[in-house]
Chains A and B, each alone.
Chain A
Amino acid sequence: MINVILVCNAGMSTSLLKARMNELGEGKYCVEAYSEQEYAKHADHADVILVGPQVRYLIDNIKAKTGNKIPVESIDPLAYGRMNAAKILQQVDSIVGKK
């Protein structure tokens, strides 16, 4: 099981994506969406943190806050906008593969 945390400003637009990713991931992935204020509480057992492209300026902060232990990347904007869950799961796989 790969734990993925999605972060955006209020956890609103990423929650749209979360449902699609969980459905498509068929239990192989556990995807959760949190706001910028909340994610840190849940980051402990995350394998990957993906941020919405609109808050990609937070990447450095998130890396620092999680002690540089978890890979943090911005979601591809087009895939994000078109809610292309398959492509984003590929992104997750490639990050996890790199580790």
Chain B
Amino acid sequence: MEKFINWLEKTMLPVANKIAKQRHLMAIRDTFMTILPPIFFGGIIAVINSAPAVEGTTNGFMIAWANFASENAVILSWLNTVTLGFLSFYVCIGITYYLCKHYEITPFMPIVIAIAGFMMLTAEPVELSFGNVLGQLTYFDGKGMLVAIFVSIATVEAYRFLTEHHVGEIKMPDSVPPALTTSFGSLVTCIIILAVDSLLFIVCYKTQGVGFAHTIINVLSPAIEATDNIGTAILVAILLNLGWFFGIHDAIWNGFLSPIEYGTLSMNAAAKAAGTALPAVFTVSFWCYFGIIGGLGNCLALGILCLLSKRKDIKTVGKLGIVPAFFGISEPITFGLPIMLNPILFVPCILTSVVNVTVSYLLMSSNIIGRTYAMLSYNMPSIFGSYFATGDFKAVILIIVLILIDMLIYYPFFKAHEKATEDMAEE
């Protein structure tokens, strides 16, 4: 076992390091890590906008809330749409910025042309006349995520390639102010990129009658829909917890995972604001509030078991770890008990998440429990997060049940761990 673990350590760490260093994945990851404010703001608005049903209540606050929400539904929905519902737009800016930072390029012009390119490729003209511009912005939500990633990366790479090879560079005399040199100097470079964006739009519009994003979605929609299914949820549960078992932070997956799980969240938010049925189940809030309760390894359930233990050292781990675990931080228990590289706890560390996502996915896909349309914070305890993300009180009950199930799954393995480490009891 030890040899096997050593071997895995030696092969896995370099891979993790490569993923962590890959510049495009890094830019995507940094984007999703910093882009939380509009997601959070949109989430709060969505919570305010979805007052619980008031039939039969005499609670003044509940009634006032429901009235406020219904009177201001348009305003609230709009605020939610332009923040969380326009996520792809912000992601496009973020990836452009972080990739420029990586290449040490001044990000201003690339961001401007990336936004222009994103607009060309995702918005669709409906009516253009004097003093009247109508556009279709449906693809600014998660549906446009692929386009946002494509435009931002392609823009920066093209910009870098063209400037490095001095294509279209306009040389200015030294007496010209530097600000002018940058904007004129990159004029042709930017025009080339915008021309390519325009060309993509024109081709789609002429042949399909719709924008680029719309065309892409039409082609890729089976593949995109395929990402939201129970198999993905289980795969994510296995992979992320497997990494965690080896003590590798789930951040390394975010370059792949964030676009998917934030994309579906943003689609749900847009649908919620529009008052239509929520299309997706597997979102970032589904994963972090229902899939991992108390952080990876479901450390809230395990932390409770530690607290109940008769062993003093294990109880101490529980005392140290339970509060962080309540807020979704599982490091103290993972490394303190430990779960990491502890063959006895390997099975439950993964199984608990698999059970959590399976049960939650089935209940949400059959609409017994509300689907998620808001994400507040990774550190919001699941008990609260589950309610705010779904607006459904039943979700809170589900969380409590899942914690109990997780405790049951952990229990025999936990006991075995206690037994196996008996000699370490009194240090």
Q: How far is the CB of B33 from chain A (nearest CB, A)?
A: 7
Query: A61, B335: Cβ atoms under 8 Å?
Result: no
User: Does A12 interact with chain B (Cβ within 8 Å)?
Assistant: yes
Query: B329, A12: Cβ atoms under 8 Å?
Result: yes
User: Does B215 interact with chain A (Cβ within 8 Å)?
Assistant: no
Given A78-B338, A81-B334, A83-B320, residue A54 in contact with residue B17 (CB < 8 A): no
Picked from A8, A55, A83, the residue with its CB within 8 Å of the CB of B332 is A83
Picked from B17, B20, B244, B316, the residue with its CB within 8 Å of the CB of A82 is B316
Instruction: Report the separation of the CA atoms of residues A2 and B30 in the bound assembly, to the nearest whole angstrom.
Output: 30
**CB 8 Å contact bits of A55-78 with B (1 = contact, 0 = none):** 111101100000000000000011
**CB 8 Å contact bits of A23-39 with B (1 = contact, 0 = none):** 00000000000011100
Number of A residues near B (Cβ < 8 Å) is 24
Within 8 A of A (CB), among B334-360: 334-338, 340
User: Does A10 interact with chain B (Cβ within 8 Å)?
Assistant: yes
Instruction: Report the separation of the CA atoms of residues A27 and B336 in the bound assembly, to the nearest whole angstrom.
Output: 27
Picked from A10, A35, A57, A77, the residue with its CB within 8 Å of the CB of B335 is A77
User: Does B248 interact with chain A (Cβ within 8 Å)?
Assistant: yes
User: Does B74 interact with chain A (Cβ within 8 Å)?
Assistant: no
Instruction: Report the separation of the CA atoms of residues A60 and B334 in the bound assembly, to the nearest whole angstrom.
Output: 23
Residues of B within 8 Å of A55, CB to CB, are 249, 251
Within 8 A of B (CB), among A9-59: 9-10, 12-13, 16, 35-37, 52-58
Picked from B16, B317, B340, B378, the residue with its CB within 8 Å of the CB of A57 is B16
Q: How far is the CB of A57 from chain B (nearest CB, A)?
A: 4
Query: B379, A81: Cβ atoms under 8 Å?
Result: no
Picked from A10, A16, A54, the residue with its CB within 8 Å of the CB of B33 is A10
Query: B21, A61: Cβ atoms under 8 Å?
Result: yes
Instruction: Report the separation of the CA atoms of residues A57 and B244 in the bound assembly, to the nearest whole angstrom.
Output: 13
Instruction: Report the separation of the CA atoms of residues A60 and B18 in the bound assembly, to the nearest whole angstrom.
Output: 10
User: Does B13 interact with chain A (Cβ within 8 Å)?
Assistant: yes
**11 pairs, A vs B, C-beta closer than 8 Å:** A16-B329, A35-B33, A36-B251, A52-B331, A56-B247, A57-B17, A58-B17, A61-B20, A77-B247, A77-B338, A82-B336
Using A16-B324, A81-B338 as known contacts, list a sample of 7 further A-B pairs with CB atoms less than 8 Å apart, ordered by residue number in A.
Answer: A36-B251, A57-B16, A57-B17, A77-B247, A81-B331, A81-B333, A82-B317
Residue ranges of A at the interface with B (Cβ–Cβ < 8 Å): 8-10, 12-13, 16, 35-37, 52-58, 60-61, 77-78, 80-83
Residue ranges of B at the interface with A (Cβ–Cβ < 8 Å): 13-14, 16-17, 20-21, 30, 33-34, 244, 247-249, 251-252, 316-317, 320-321, 324, 329, 331-338, 340, 378-379
